[in-house]
Amino acid sequence: MKKFLLRLLINAIALYAAIALLNGRGITPQSENWISLLWLALIFGIVNAILRPILVVVGCPIIILTLGLGSLLINTLLFYLAGVIGSNFGVGFTVSGFWPAFFGALIVSVVSFILSMLLKDELRR
């Protein structure tokens, strides 16, 4: 349970960083409080847990041909989809195009990676 809550918090911080850095540059948040960010992180985690394995298997030839850059497209799609689903529940954000979604997914990936490395021991328990 502690690992789940820590992962949820890492996703919420990563989403906050992406939304804050790209606010007004293609991403428009619907709400600014931490509770909605936690709900959005939960939606983001569910979307990643359900759709990522399917998209990786289906997109495996593209990922291999692009030497792994196809996974950035999968991240972009999942970031955009999490925003759309979240905005239907009133906790998401709207993305105005491909590049804001791409940079948002890139920011979420980098921030999540850094926080996961910093909290590696806590996540391992």
Q: Quick check: 14 and 111 in contact, CB under 8 A?
A: yes
* pLDDT at position 1: 81
Model confidence pLDDT, tens digit, residues 10-22 = 999 999 999 999 9
Q: How many CA atoms lie within 13 A of 6 on its CB side?
A: 14
Strand-pair partners of 102: none
> Given pLDDT bands bounded at 50, 70 and 90, which one contains residue 61?
very high
* pLDDT at position 37: 92
Angle between helices 2-22 and 34-58 (to 10 degrees): 100
Range of the domain at 64: 2-124
* pLDDT at position 65: 95
* pLDDT at position 51: 96
* pLDDT at position 115: 94
Q: How many domains does the chain have?
A: 1
CB atoms within 10 A of CB 110: 13
* pLDDT at position 2: 84
pTM of the model: 0.91
Model confidence pLDDT, tens digit, residues 76-124 = 999 999 999 999 998 989 999 999 999 999 999 999 999 999 988 877 7
Q: Quick check: 47 and 113 in contact, CB under 8 A?
A: no
The H or E element spanning position 94 is strand 93-95
